[in-house]
Structure 1
Amino acid sequence: MNEVSALSDMIQLVGNVGFPVVVALILLIRYEVRMERLEKHSENLSDIINELRRDIS
């Protein structure tokens, strides 16, 4: 039922602000999620590098 509501909201947005704006919003949301994942992975990588440096020293 939640998917139907989301689809209805999307259709309403397209009618109100236009297709290009809706597409831009969707892409920005997806980009934000990917950037958060990238940030998390880079923090993990940084921690691993620091551990390796301690082990070598």
Structure 2
Amino acid sequence: MDMEWIHLVGDIGFPMAITFFLLHRMERKLDDLIHSIKDIKFHTTDD
């Protein structure tokens, strides 16, 4: 039973870790993009 869990975590754990890392990076980039869009909107409506 223990070997099954070790094998399962070894097979699935790495892809899950990579997925979490990439989603976290993408979320941060999307937040930056939203901030930039709001900043552009503020500057264009300020005229």
State the TM-score bracket (shorter-chain normalisation).
0.7 to 0.9
Instruction: State how far apart, in whole Å, the 1-side matches of 2:18 and 2:29 are.
Output: 17
Q: State TM-score, norm by structure 1.
A: 0.66
Q: Structure 1, unaligned stretches of length 5 or more?
A: 1-14
Q: State TM-score, norm by structure 2.
A: 0.78
Between the aligned residues of both structures, percent identity stands at: 10
Instruction: State how far apart, in whole Å, the 1-side matches of 2:13 and 2:39 are.
Output: 39
Deviation at 1:29, TM superposition (A): 0.4
Deviation at 1:30, TM superposition (A): 0.5
CA RMSD after TM alignment: 1.4
Higher relative contact order (CA 8 A, sep 6+): 1
Q: State the aligned residue count.
A: 41
Q: Structure 2, unaligned stretches of length 5 or more?
A: none
Structure 2 match to 1:48: 36
